[in-house]
Amino acid sequence: MSDLKTLIQWRREFHRFPEVGWSEFVTTAKLVQKLEAMGHVVLTSKNVINPDFVRGRQADVVEKGLAAARAKGVSEAMLKRMDGLTGCAAIFDTGKPGPTIGLRFDIDCIPVQETADATHIPRAEKFASENPGYMHSCGHDGHMSIGLGVAQWLIENRDTLKGRFKLLFQPAEEGVRGARPMSESGILDDVDYFAGSHLGFVAPSGTIVAGPTGFLCTLKIDVRFKGKPAHAGAAPHLGKNALAAACHAATQMLGIARHGEGMTRVNVGVLRAGEGRNVIPPNAELQIEVRGESEELNTYMADEVIRIAKGIALGFDVELATEIMGEAVDLICDDEMVDHVMAVAKGNPSVQNVVRHQLFGGSEDATILARRVQARGGKAVFFVIGADLTAGHHQGEFDFDEKQLGVGVDMYTGLIGRLMSGANSPTAANGVAAGSEAVAALRPCN
């Protein structure tokens, strides 16, 4: 089993070269190499990603990622194997009858410049981002390390395990773009139990939130207006002002009536338009997100955005194009799975506080994967591994308590042990179900 030192080394290796969604070629190559070296069968490309459902994949970002991969020494054979699609899945079949368990770990970063503050631990310990303008400022480097730790544990405990395991290393979580195409690949369709998690977020070190609530459905929408340029002084009447259309659309969208039956959100995060101060702006783009605490409420907000965009396009006589860039759904964790997470957490001496429910209040596209499993009769949970933070997620000063990497591995391996043993009592001695040989060997990282 990987010790805490190894988990930290892995995390820092990934932290040094962060890559944004759909460009994680270096990251994917490292994962494939490490997983295969352990002894796992690793799937890539269309085996784990359905290209028909890919959202928000920009060609220039992909090409930049491929160039970076070549500069970093990623082989052409590996790039050909990926075939332009990042992410991978490790498959481990024990050959013995048992449940199929799917675990998800996200791999992308944030377009944030890491702080130059000399007291920032990644800077002081010399593992800060070497990719200017990009940073693992959400903990996904830690998630990958935990996933590798679980992968190593599976290999080392193969003689006591049963069933089949699928470890999904998902691209493009930021912007909630990667889960839908991974789900639509069908890789989860035989999974009996699914689990995902997040470091930090709503909990400090020593706390596990076993069944967060309030996952918001969301839709990320790009709205593009195409008008007609004209000289702003000599012939403004010949132009069609796309910028004016976008401005009117933005103010109307922000004024959408919030739904009386639940939480709803809308944000216009980006408005780009125009070519010059003396040219009637012929193009404009809005980057918008809506959220709702249920699919019905989220759909209401999305429909309102599209209705407004269509009306504005008609009113300003400009062309309209819309594109869905990402999505996530709501999630109710299965009580059985929450019970298991609580039991494992209560049996871990590094965990002092176990919370059954706490408001998540955000969106996570692991919900799409979880709901796919639930729709086919499986059980799912998404839990929070508390970790003290130096700054909030998505900030350049972000860092987390690396000791919680070991807790994360323990949580997953403990959950695996309970699911294999068929444990159904959340209050077994010491919080861990008796009768599981695999559970007896937990705690390798405390």
Tens digits of residue pLDDT in 372-398: 999 999 999 999 999 999 999 999 999
Whether 446 is in a domain gets the answer: no
User: Does the residue 135 lie in any domain?
Assistant: yes
Distance between CA atoms of 154 and 161, rounded to whole angstroms?
A: 8
pLDDT band at 435 (very low <50, low <70, confident <90, very high): very low
Q: What is the CATH number of the domain that holds 296?
A: 3.30.70.360
Q: Mean of the per-residue pLDDT values for the chain?
A: 93
Same domain for 88 and 113: yes
Residue 139: φ, ψ to 5°: 90, 5
> What is the mean predicted confidence (pLDDT) over 58-83?
97
The reply to whether 370 and 430 lie within a common domain is yes
Task: Please check the confidence at residue 182 and state whether its pLDDT lies above 50.
Answer: yes
320 and 347 share one domain: no
52 and 183 in one domain?
yes
* 362 — pLDDT class (breaks 50, 70, 90): confident
**Residue 432 falls within a domain, yes or no?**
yes
Q: How far apart are alpha carbons 82 and 70 in whole angstroms?
A: 13
Residue showing tokens 């103010």: 251
- Phi-psi sector, 172: left (phi>0), alpha (psi -120 to 50), beta: left
- How would residue 306 be classed by pLDDT, with cut points 50, 70 and 90? very high
Q: Give the other-Cβ count within 10 Å of 6's Cβ.
A: 16
Q: Do 201 and 222 fall into the same domain?
A: no
Give 241-298 pLDDT, tens digit per residue: 999 999 999 999 999 999 999 999 999 999 999 999 999 999 999 999 999 999 999 9
Domain boundary among 328, 345, 367: 328
Same domain for 191 and 47: yes
Residue 361 — pLDDT band, cuts 50, 70, 90? Answer: confident
Residue pair 78/32 in contact by the 8 Å Cβ criterion: yes
In whole angstroms, what is the distance from residue 88 CA to residue 186 CA? 14
Q: According to the model, what pLDDT value does residue 355 have?
A: 96
Q: Choose one of 312, 328, 344: the last residue of a domain.
A: 328
CATH code of the domain covering residue 16? 3.40.630.10
Backbone angles phi, psi at 432, to 5 degrees: -125, 135
Same domain as 268, residue 120 = no
Q: Check whether residue 90 and residue 168 sit in a common domain.
A: yes
Query: What percentage of the chain reaches a pLDDT higher than 70?
Result: 94
3-class SS of residue 444: coil
Residue 219 clears pLDDT 60, i.e. is over it:
yes
* pLDDT (tens digit per residue) in 312-338: 999 999 999 999 999 999 999 999 999
How many domains in the chain?
A: 2
pLDDT digits (tens, 9 = 90+) for 143-158: 999 999 999 999 999 9
Distance in angstroms (rounded) separating the CA atoms of residues 107 and 336: 28
pTM exceeds 0.85, yes or no: yes
322 and 388 part of one domain:
no
- d(CA 13, CA 41) in angstroms, rounded, equals 22
Helix 295-316 vs helix 242-254: angle between axes, to the nearest 10 degrees?
A: 150
State residue 423's pLDDT score.
63
- What is the pLDDT, as a whole number, of residue 1? 54
What's the rounded Cα separation, in Å, for the pair 267 and 23?
26
What letter would DSSP give residue 366?
H
The pairing of beta strand 193-199 with beta strand 41-44: unpaired
**Per-residue pLDDT for 239 more than 90?**
yes
Shared-domain flag, residues 351 and 432: yes
CB 182 within 8 A of CB 48: yes
Instruction: Kindly state the tokens that stand for 414.
Output: 């403990």
pLDDT of residue 124: 97
Domain assignment present for residue 125? The answer is yes
Provide the percentage of residues in the chain whose pLDDT is more than 90. 92
Judged by DSSP in three states, 385 sits in strand
Is position 195 within any domain?
yes
What's the CA angle centered on 85, arms 268 and 66, to 5 degrees? 90
Q: Which of 270, 272, 271, 273 is nearest to 229 (CA)?
A: 273
Q: Is the pLDDT of residue 170 over 70?
A: yes
Looking at residues 100-127, what average pLDDT do you find? Answer: 97
Q: What is the CA radius of gyration of the chain?
A: 23
Kindly state whether residue 263 falls inside one of the protein's structural domains.
yes
In a domain, 42, yes or no: yes
Q: Both tokens of residue 307?
A: 């209705």
Last residue of a domain, one of 303, 328, 353: 328
On the question of pLDDT at 432 being above 70, the answer is no
Does residue 197 share a domain with residue 177? yes
Band (421; pLDDT cuts 50, 70, 90): confident
Q: What is the 3-state secondary structure (H, E, C) of 48-70?
A: CCCHHHCCCCCHHHHHHHHHHHH
Please, are residues 19 and 171 in contact by the beta-carbon 8 Å criterion? no
Residue at 65 is within a domain: yes
Query: What range does the domain containing 241 cover?
Result: 217-328
Can you say whether residue 83 is alpha, beta or left, with left for phi > 0 and alpha for psi between -120 and 50 degrees?
left
Q: What number of other Cβ atoms are within 10 A of residue 157's Cβ?
A: 18
pLDDT at 440: 29
Whether residues 189 and 236 fall in one domain? no
